[in-house]
A and B are shown apart, each in its own frame.
Chain A
Amino acid sequence: MKIAIASGKGGTGKTSITCALAKSLDENIKLFDCDVEEPNVHIFFNKQKISSSLCNVFVPLVDQSKCNFCLKCEELCQFNAIVKIGDSMMVFPEMCHSCKGCKIICPENAIINSSKNLGQIKTFQEKNITVVYGELRIGEPMAPPLIDAVKNKIIDTDINIIDAPPGTSCPVISTIKNVDYLILVTEPTPFGLNDLVLAVETARILKVPFGIIINRADIGDNRISEYAKKENIEILMKIPNNRKIAESYSRGETMIKAKSELKKEFKQLYTKIITK
């Protein structure tokens, strides 16, 4: 089971809800933070012992003595990562998406395996929850390969809860593709709705079943409810705008600590999702 939490708009409460959902359940949970550019799930845990490993990925190195400038690699590469400049093939590792296409297509076997470091994958355990998260190397622009590496740790038969980055661009797509269910967290504001619409379009293209949680549901107006009704999207849960929740958040605690009745709601939410 893979449940992802995404939002479109940043700051709607993805991570708060991810952590609250995980901490509400009694089962063994694997919690994945795929916001590798700014992982923050770990802030909500008392980390005892974190183990980390380096995540390195393929980049090409050209054996110039074998290369006959057929340029098949350059034509194939959609990212301009391997280019003939003057009388040699230049590689731009920061542009490379590590697809290995250049190596596969090279008829001269002139592409040698090299690697670049993307960042680290870290993991720790707290009670029934195992947290796995990626930390993108500072200066590295490419999040999706590290997200894929984090997601490689997923075992489908576990209960996997996945926190997505904000937005609807490549890192989000990498995170939410192939999940069994997607929770979209939004807020009843113009920005909330605008970005929710984008997230819904994304989920529909990816054919991922999804529902909405309205966070801070009693601020703003009814635009989210009206949109959900019009689009026939299920509203899974509404969370009130509550000072106690904000205070507990500022202490690195989840909302179920501030409002214990939410724990039951999150349990019901989980049951609802797995019985879909």
Chain B
Amino acid sequence: MKISLSSKGDNLDSELDPRFGRAQYFIVVDSETKDFKIIRNEQNINARQGAGIQAAKTIIESGAKVLITKNCGPKAFDVLNAQGIKVAIISKETTIKNAMEKFLAGELKIADNANVDGHW
């Protein structure tokens, strides 16, 4: 299963980016092979509006079935939800690697709603 995470940097030791739509990078990890892919989110960081929607689209197109992030707004959540992608929210600062491990150990709760308003 592919797991996507919002990341401040381009490797597994990077910190989880607190923002989803305007995250620096997305890292998509294959939970079996541990292979990972880096997606730069350059275009969205400076988007006038709709960064969350476009970021959600990026996640969908990456083939990920799960998104781990710190904050997810209502539009992004709706788009991900409509495509059956689960959103797991971590509130504390953590690395990509740690966040992955926590998710695989079943320690993360799947959100059933956006946890922040748009443009928080």
Contacts and interface: CB of A to CB of B under 8 A. Distances in A.
Interface string B39-54: 0000000011111011
B113 interface: no
A90 B50 CA distance: 12
B46 to A, nearest CB: 13
Contact of A85 (B49, B50, B60): B60
B48 A79 contact: yes
B83 A83 contact: no
A30 to B, nearest CB: 33
B57 A84 contact: yes
B105 interface: no
B56 interface: yes
Given A85-B60, A85-B83, A86-B82, A92 B53 contact: yes
Given A90-B79, A92-B75, A83 B48 contact: no
A100 to B, nearest CB: 18
Nearest to A88: B82
Interface in A41-87: 78-81, 83-86
A122 B60 CA distance: 44
Interface residues of B, number: 14
Contacts of A81: 50
Contacts of B82: 85-86, 90
Contact of A95 (B49, B57, B79, B83): B49
Nearest to A77: B50
Contacts of A92: 50, 53, 75
A83 B53 contact: yes
Given A85-B83, A92-B75, A80 B60 contact: no
Interface string B16-58: 0000000000000000000000000000000111110110110
B65 to A, nearest CB: 13
Contacts of A90: 53, 79, 82
Interface in A137-177: none
Nearest to A85: B79
Contacts of B54: 80, 83
Contacts of B79: 83, 85, 90
Interface string A190-215: 00000000000000000000000000
A74 B20 CA distance: 21
A95 B50 contact: yes
A80 B43 CA distance: 12
Contacts of A80: 47, 49-51, 53-54
A228 B7 CA distance: 49
A83 B49 contact: no
Contacts of A78: 48
B47 to A, nearest CB: 7
Nearest to B80: A85
Contacts of B83: 85-86
A251 to B, nearest CB: 38
24 contacts: A78-B48, A79-B48, A79-B49, A79-B50, A80-B47, A80-B50, A80-B53, A83-B50, A83-B53, A83-B54, A83-B57, A84-B57, A85-B56, A85-B57, A85-B60, A85-B79, A86-B60, A86-B82, A90-B53, A92-B50, A92-B53, A92-B75, A95-B49, A95-B53
Interface of B: 47-51, 53-54, 56-57, 60, 75, 79, 82-83
